[in-house]
Amino acid sequence: MTLDTDQTVTGYKQFTRAIQADQFIKTNGTNDQFLLANGGTADVGDFLPKHYPHAMEQMIIEPDSDIRNQGLRIMKNKANWDSFVLAGCNNDPTNTDGVWKMGSTSSQFRIQKQEDQAYDYKGLIIDF
């Protein structure tokens, strides 16, 4: 390998020091993919927040198989500026079983169990 000419690496090359380049191009890669350290690719969408615009703007941290990770949902309603953090979420945004909601409306701060989509007057509610 020489430093002062353009070259294409077509075989296996092993480097023992850091490699610096203006760009790395994955053959047959797309502009919607990340190049992973193992040479594979992942879609950009796998790393972006999931939005449910028909409800409210939301960002969801999805749960996994670990009982300690039950998911968070951060949401803001653009129509009335209510904003909440929901804890104990699962990957179905319509399933509110076991979900706790913390946040504010235009006139209240609430910490309550999210049992349905309608406002529920159980839990801690502080009027402004």
Q: 81: domain range?
A: 57-127
Looking at residue 50, its pLDDT comes to 61
Question: What is the share, in percent, of the chain residues with pLDDT greater than 70?
Answer: 74
pLDDT over 70 at 25, yes or no: yes
Do residues 63 and 44 make contact, with C-beta atoms less than 8 angstroms apart?
Answer: no
Looking at residue 11, its pLDDT comes to 84
Assigned domain for 91 exists:
yes
Assigned domain for 38 exists:
no
Assigned domain for 18 exists:
no
Question: What pTM was estimated for this model as a whole?
Answer: 0.45
Mean pLDDT over 80-105 rounds to 81
**Span of 15-19, 68-72, 103-107 with lowest mean pLDDT:** 68-72
Q: Which residues, including other chains, have CB under 8 Å from residue 51's CB and lie 6 or more apart?
A: 57, 58, 59
Assigned domain for 36 exists:
no
> What residue spans of the chain are helical by DSSP H?
none
pLDDT over 80 at 38, yes or no: yes
